[in-house]
Amino acid sequence: MTLPTATIMAAVTYSVFVLFGIILLLFLALVVLRIIMARREGELERKEEEIRPLIYEIISDQDTEKEAYRKIRSYISVVNRVALERVLLECARVVEGPEMELLSYLFDQLGFVDEDIENVQLAHNSKKAESAYHLGVMRAARAVPFLINALSSDNRDVVFASLNSLSRIGTPEAVRALVEHISRDGDIEMMRIAEIIPSHAEAFRPTVREWLETGSVDVRRQTFLIDLGGAMMDPLSVPLLARYMASPDDLVRTHAARALGGTGDMSASGPLMQAMSDPSPAVRVAASDALGRLRCEEAIGPLMDGLSDRAAEVQMSCAFALNKMGNDGQRALDDGIATAERQRAPSRNQGQADLRLMPGPGDAS
Amino acid sequence: MTGSDWANVVVIFLSIIIFGYFMLLSLAYLVLFTAAFFESRRYLKRSRSVDLREIFHSPLAPSISVIIPAYNEEPIIIDSVKAALELQYPRFEVVVVNDGSTDATLARLENEFRLKRVASEVARSVPSMEARGVYISENHDNLVVVDKPNGGKADALNSGINVSRKDITCVVDADSLIEPDALLKIARPFIEEPETTVAAGGVIRIVNGCEVKDGAVTNVGLPRNYWANVQIVEYLRAFLGGRIGWSALHAPLIVSGAFGGFDRRTIVEIGGYRVGAVGEDMELVVRMHRYLRDAKRKYRMYFVPDPVCWTQAPVHYRQIARQRDRWQRGLIETLMGNQEMLLYPRYGAVGMLAMPFYFFFEMIGPLVELSGYVLVIVALATGQLGVDFLVLFLTVAILFGVLISLIAVYLEGLMFRRYPKLRSLGRLAFYALVENLGYRQLNSWWRTKAYFTYFTRKAKWGEMERSAYGVDTPASSFVKENEVTGPERTA
Amino acid sequence: MRPTPVVIIADDDAVLSALIRRKLTGLGFVVHSSDNGHHALQLIRDLGPDLAILDVMMPGVNGYQILKAMKEDASTSNIPVIILTSRNTEEDLVKSFGLGAVDFVSKPVSPSELAKKVMSQVGMRALPELNPEG
């Protein structure tokens, strides 16, 4: 029996050629694409470079709106629209005040706002999100109704970009829509909301306080609400948060301690100092972190005691907290360390049991 | 049948296997590249409606611990820590773990950062050696230094994890150059999918040939050195086809120790890094997959394709060989240690696709390749096969490899354009060719040798662990400009 | 005040830097800018400007460190500094003024408002012509 060597070879050769062809084509396609893209990008960059000086001049010289518009129309040809938009956007990202108002006017008059509004309604999702985002950068008040509509999209990026833009535009109508949407939708990207809310803290504070009052059965949402409460820097929320310090769940207590530290209000120091004797080490860690954040000098005493806490992580967080409290704190820390060392020296065999820590999401600093 | 007929059969049989190997490998890479392409495109598109600065202002952005394990990093440790402290992120801390350095690493840290000892023990959520001391800094309130006896990188990382209290654990090499907005980028998946994200890796780039100022890359360029260049091509292929591709297929197997972020809670749950593991970064990730899938939890591991970390590639033969040897041993160890996962449906894409791929192409692959070369030479010499066969073999073994590397280079050029000049792409293309004529074969050789090292070498604790740190280049060759002439100078 | 007062801007945001520079130049200032902390500090030491605008977040040396270094050096300690930053927490405010900055501006910035502040600072400093410049 002889093997059909020839056919095997042929088959192998054939398949090798086919595969080779595919790979080669792919490679060539990539090279071509790359070259095309390099050209396009290069051109765009060049146009942007040409346009920039004029735009900078217009912004700096504080031309009137009409004057600025006229200049742009006469010096920048229609061909460079894309470059123009990019330059204007990059300026809009960094300025505010009268300069931003001028830019908003220009975006509108030049038709960019209309374009983006159209995209927000009709384009595919990633373009929608991008346009929604740009409308915020442009502070296009006219776009608010359309952005509100976009909130009912099922694409998260679109919704978030719209929320973000509504927040930036900040007209009463926009903020109202924001608050409404966030209150209604229980499952919205929780952490991302926090990026928007603080810039409209006043509008949101009542809502957040309400949430804190009612609470939630879902632990995850509960802890999120507590976190949010802390982020609002609202003195009125301190008593509400303090109530959570009595929760039987130590995860909730940990978050509450953390949030109290975030409020930035000294009235939170009372409940926090009490929490320094909480049975759970994670809560004590959060409380000491929070006291450090608040820079509460009254707490120097309890924190010094914490340096000899039975849990090592509490010792550390107290040290951190004291370190943040300026000269008094640091001196107290030095004293405290010396004392703790002396206490520790005789009984060196205090073995460290492997503590199963409640991995509280520590934070501070 | 005669003896030579048998020999013929054997040769043909083996040849088919070897041909099949190379062709399958190329096909697999094409699939991975395609996945990587779409994934990168999606990421870039989405990035256009995100402003990283907003994460920076978010009061609920998860906090991050940047853990830097250090063993005898005296020349670079201060710069490294300073660069880490300058990272742009709202709430983070830097934890430096001095793993029993025998040089002045700790002393320099003490000096520069005015360290104050605050505790002598550390609560241990994951196993690690007992610390000798924990220090905080008087002038930086987010710096912690842990001093401990030498225990190896995995142990040092665990120690860092024990000390850290933040939501996300970010593991970094002492000689990695992290971009200032890297933390913002790596936090994004954790913010956007807080319920499921457990790990996020960054892309590692080679810094040789780039201009570096104050711990930041100011100008991206290509080096002159042959070794560095072929490694650049290699990294591009590995990252596109290895990391991003697999991440797109929901099965990333490696989150590099040079820069990777993990959910702290999850790391603690699985017991931290495995002390003594050679490839501790891969070992951790595979074990995490295993644990989470066993527990039937929904989870994702992401790759941030936008470059975030630069590392120095070794440029001396012996250093490269040693590094590759170590990587291969790590791979063998992890795969062998988790063979139960192979082709087991419960482990999803990880067990059914990624691990078999790594097992077959990365682990066994070098052996196959090497045998291929040997076989061809022998077969030709003994006249078993003709020139046409040789041509076919060379096409499959070399030409395909070249094309695959070229595709990787151009794909990167299309997506991220970190090497903006077209000319650089041309140079890289040249090295893609060169890589397959010699470097690749050398690699197969090193990796095959690794088997022997793996099976014969008993872990010499100190020596092996020492070379587990960073890249095997003398730390003093760390590229940096702008010596400290700034504020520290006394007027 | 010198006939052409000198201002140094240290900010790694190219667009913002350019806009501020353009604004100030239009008002008659001589402006030097840098996107790197070390370089900026060097410029300040070499040129002895009438005012420095420092961004906090920059590669290498950040704005606070530059400010601190300026205050510790007799030749630069009198130069008024305006801190520019995208952070606007209470901590940053306290820190800036604590280190001796004369003003604090949070991003996004209105170049014209900033210019007003610059002018008032430089104008103010002109009066006590007694202390030698630099």
Nearest-CA distance B413 → chain A (Å)? 7
Q: Taking residues A195-200, what's their average pLDDT? A: 77
Whether residue A333 and residue B121 make contact (CB cut-off 8 A), yes or no, is no
For the stretch A61-117, pLDDT in tens is 877 888 888 888 888 777 788 899 999 999 999 999 999 999 999 999 999 999 999
A341 part of contact set with chain C, CB < 8 Å: no
pLDDT at C95 over 80: yes
Q: A352 or B272: which carries more pLDDT confidence?
A: B272
C→B interface, C-beta within 8 Å: 36-38, 41-42, 57, 59-62, 65-66, 68-69, 72-75, 86-87
d(CA A106, CA C88): 29
pLDDT at B482 over 60: no
pLDDT of residue B460: 45
pLDDT of residue A8: 77
pLDDT of residue B480: 30
pLDDT of residue B254: 86
CA B264 to chain centre: 20
pLDDT at B484 over 70: no
Residue at token pair 């096969």: B385
pLDDT of residue B150: 92
For the stretch A263-308, pLDDT in tens is 888 898 899 999 999 999 999 999 999 999 888 888 888 998 888 8
d(CA A361, CA B162): 13
Nearest to A197 by CA among A220, A221, A181, A218: A181
Q: Taking residues B376-392, what's their average pLDDT? A: 77
d(CA B211, CA B215): 10
d(CA B150, CA B152): 6
Q: Do B270 and B241 touch, CB atoms closer than 8 A?
A: no
Q: C103 or B14: which carries more pLDDT confidence?
A: C103
The token pair that represents A223 in the structure block? 């802890």
Nearest-CA distance C129 → chain B (Å)? 25
pLDDT at A359 over 60: no
A52 part of contact set with chain C, CB < 8 Å: yes
Domains recognised in chain A with CATH numbers: 46-109 (no CATH), 111-188 (1.25.10.10), 209-344 (1.25.10.10)
Q: Do C70 and B246 touch, CB atoms closer than 8 A?
A: no
CA nearest C38 in B: which residue?
B486
Whether residue A95 and residue C113 make contact (CB cut-off 8 A), yes or no, is no
Q: Taking residues B429-439, what's their average pLDDT? A: 89
Looking at this protein, which amino acid is placed at residue B76?
I
pLDDT of residue C86: 80
Under the banding of pLDDT at 50, 70 and 90, the label for residue C128 is very low
pLDDT of residue A1: 45
pLDDT of residue B388: 77
Partners of residue C18 in chain A, C-beta under 8 Å: 52, 56
pLDDT of residue A189: 57
A residues 310-339 lying closer than 8 A (beta carbon) to B: 311-313, 315-317, 319-320, 323-324, 330, 333-334, 337
Whether residue C60 and residue B213 make contact (CB cut-off 8 A), yes or no, is yes
Q: A338 or C19: which carries more pLDDT confidence?
A: C19
Q: Taking residues B335-347, what's their average pLDDT? A: 90
B88 part of contact set with chain C, CB < 8 Å: yes
Whether residue B124 and residue A319 make contact (CB cut-off 8 A), yes or no, is no
pLDDT of residue A142: 93
pLDDT at A360 over 50: no
pLDDT of residue B1: 59
Q: Is B295 helix (H, G, I), strand (E, B) or coil?
A: coil
Percent of chain A predicted with pLDDT > 70: 90
Q: Do B352 and B473 touch, CB atoms closer than 8 A?
A: no
Q: Residue C22 is nearest to which of A56, A96, A100, comparing CB atoms? A: A56
Looking at this protein, which amino acid is placed at residue B449?
K
pLDDT at B469 over 50: no
pLDDT of residue B472: 37
pLDDT at C134 over 60: no
- Diameter of chain C measured on Cα atoms: 38
B215-236: b (≥16 Cβ within 10 Å) or e:
bbbeebebbeeebbbbbbbbbb
Q: Residue B167 is nearest to which of A41, A344, A361, comparing CB atoms? A: A361
Q: Residue A99 is nearest to which of C18, C90, C111, comparing CB atoms? A: C111
Angle at B461 between CA B81 and CA B291, to 5 degrees: 75
Under the banding of pLDDT at 50, 70 and 90, the label for residue A200 is confident
CA distances, A197 to each of A108, A135, A172, A190, A322 (Å)? 27, 18, 14, 11, 31
pLDDT at A346 over 60: no
Nearest to A209 by CA among A162, A241, A249, A164: A241
Domains recognised in chain C with CATH numbers: 6-124 (3.40.50.2300)
Whether residue C16 and residue A264 make contact (CB cut-off 8 A), yes or no, is no
pLDDT of residue C1: 52
A93 part of contact set with chain C, CB < 8 Å: yes
Partners of residue C108 in chain A, C-beta under 8 Å: 93-96, 100
Q: Residue C109 is nearest to which of A62, A90, A96, comparing CB atoms? A: A96
Q: Do A141 and A117 touch, CB atoms closer than 8 A?
A: no
Q: Do B28 and B233 touch, CB atoms closer than 8 A?
A: no
DSSP string over A307-349? TT-SSHHHHHHHHHHHHTSHHHHHHHHHHHHHHHHHHHTTTTT
Q: Residue A312 is nearest to which of B9, B122, B425, comparing CB atoms? A: B122
In B82-161 the beta strands, taken as DSSP E runs, fall at: 92-99, 115-119, 133-137, 143-148
For the stretch B348-368, pLDDT in tens is 889 899 999 999 999 999 999
Whether residue A9 and residue B389 make contact (CB cut-off 8 A), yes or no, is yes
Nearest-CA distance A181 → chain B (Å)? 18
| B384: CB partners within 8 A, 6+ apart | B7, B8, B11, B378
Nearest to B68 by CA among B120, B122, B105: B105
pLDDT at A361 over 70: no
CA nearest A100 in C: which residue?
C110
Whether residue B165 and residue A285 make contact (CB cut-off 8 A), yes or no, is yes
For the stretch A80-94, pLDDT in tens is 888 999 999 999 999
CA nearest A324 in C: which residue?
C91
d(CA C36, CA B304): 27
Nearest to B275 by CA among B388, B156, B362: B156
Q: Give the strand pairing for B300-311 and B177-178.
A: antiparallel
Under the banding of pLDDT at 50, 70 and 90, the label for residue A186 is low
Q: Taking residues C10-31, what's their average pLDDT? A: 91
This complex has an ipTM of 0.85
pTM for the complete prediction?
Answer: 0.86
